């Protein structure tokens, strides 16, 4: 056997490409694995190093669980292959981890409708922070913002790490719930998520919150004026706008 072929086989096995080393598809049956293994051993009968590596590859393939295999294939950037292997094994008795992994892979492939089905099952079966985080991001991509907020809130209550606080803060900004969003972005920053994007978002959020508060103040002032003296409404409204503009300049300028 040529040295280049030996090097290739050893590199595939050391890199976790066990199926490729045995010249197999990822959905090979046990009998196919056994036949390929025997064939490869025969090809490398004069190389004990390769034979040992092939034995290792076969042992891993035949003993690793479906989730371990899917995670290995994802690490190797073989998402479609991981999904094929995973979906083939999922049934009514499958647990949260299988559904979470399937949902995660569907999500990474942009197939959000299918991701939602599996992530909802994972949340129902287990419902940990990671399930809710990925389900929330899937809901958000499907424009299901109320459902997404509920999922992010569950994740924050359970664990509340920087990414979960940041995700919840971001969607609250989209919903113009600025007073609720700012503490979450501050918390994300304190937990180590500070970067240029987060800092810029916090500054913008402070400005939006001030504008929003000024609008509420102006609206309340107009309502009070209408109730107390309708004749003065127009003149006082103009004065209120001037005051609000001045305050905005002082705060933001």
Task: Give 24's DSSP letter.
Answer: -
pLDDT at 35: 95
Whether 147 is covered by a domain: the verdict is no
Q: Kindly tell me if the per-residue pLDDT of 246 is higher than 70.
A: no
Residue 156: pLDDT band (50, 70, 90) is: very high
Q: Kindly tell me if the per-residue pLDDT of 194 is higher than 60.
A: yes
Q: Kindly tell me if the per-residue pLDDT of 252 is higher than 80.
A: no
- Close Cβ partners of 71 (under 8 Å, ≥ 6 residues apart): 82, 101
How far apart CA 136 and CA 148 sit, in angstroms, is 4
How far apart CA 48 and CA 104 sit, in angstroms, is 40
* Number of helices and strands in the chain (H, E): 14, 0
Whether 48 is covered by a domain: the verdict is yes
What's this model's pTM, rounded to 2 decimal places? 0.74
Q: Which domain holds residue 48?
A: 1-63
Rounded average pLDDT over 159-181: 90
199's enclosing H/E stretch is helix 196-228
Whether 55 is covered by a domain: the verdict is yes
Tally Cβ neighbours within 10 Å of residue 205: 19
Q: Half-sphere exposure of residue 252, counting CA atoms within 13 Å on the CB side?
A: 16
Contact 20, 12 (CB under 8 A): yes
Number of domains composing the chain: 1
3-state helix, strand, coil in the chain (%, to 5): 80, 0, 20
pLDDT at 191: 87
Q: Kindly tell me if the per-residue pLDDT of 144 is higher than 70.
A: yes
How far apart CA 19 and CA 29 sit, in angstroms, is 11
Contact 100, 119 (CB under 8 A): yes
pLDDT tens column, 76-134: 999 999 999 899 999 999 999 999 999 999 999 999 999 999 999 999 999 999 999 99
At 70, list the tokens. Answer: 């899917």
**Residue of 207 and 187 predicted with greater confidence:** 187
Contact 24, 39 (CB under 8 A): no
């Amino acid at each position: 056997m040529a040295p280049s072929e030996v090097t290739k086989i050893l590199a595939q096995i050391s890199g976790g490409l066990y199926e490729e080393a045995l010249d197999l598809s990822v959905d090979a049956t046990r009998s196919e694995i056994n036949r390929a293994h025997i064939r490869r051993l025969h090809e490398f009968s004069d190389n004990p190093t390769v034979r040992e590596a092939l034995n290792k590859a076969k042992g891993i393939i035949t003993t690793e669980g479906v989730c371990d295999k899917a995670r290995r294939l994802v690490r190797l950037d073989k998402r479609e292959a991981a999904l094929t292997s995973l979906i083939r094994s999922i049934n009514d008795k499958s647990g949260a981890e299988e559904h979470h992994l399937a949902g995660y892979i569907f999500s990474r492939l942009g197939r959000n409708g299918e991701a939602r089905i599996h992530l909802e099952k994972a949340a129902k079966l287990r419902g940990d922070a990671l399930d809710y985080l990925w389900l929330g991001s899937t809901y958000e991509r499907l424009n299901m913002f109320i459902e997404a907020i509920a999922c992010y809130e569950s994740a924050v209550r359970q664990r509340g790490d920087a990414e979960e606080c940041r995700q919840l803060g971001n969607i609250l900004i989209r919903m113009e719930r600025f007073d609720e969003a700012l503490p979450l972005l501050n918390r994300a920053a304190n937990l180590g998520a500070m970067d240029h994007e987060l800092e810029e978002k916090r500054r913008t959020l402070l400005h939006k919150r001030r504008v929003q508060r000024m609008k509420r103040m102006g609206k309340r002032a107009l309502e009070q004026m209408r109730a107390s003296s309708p004749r003065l409404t127009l003149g006082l409204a103009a004065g209120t706008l001037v005051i609000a503009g001045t305050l905005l300049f002082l705060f933001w300028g």
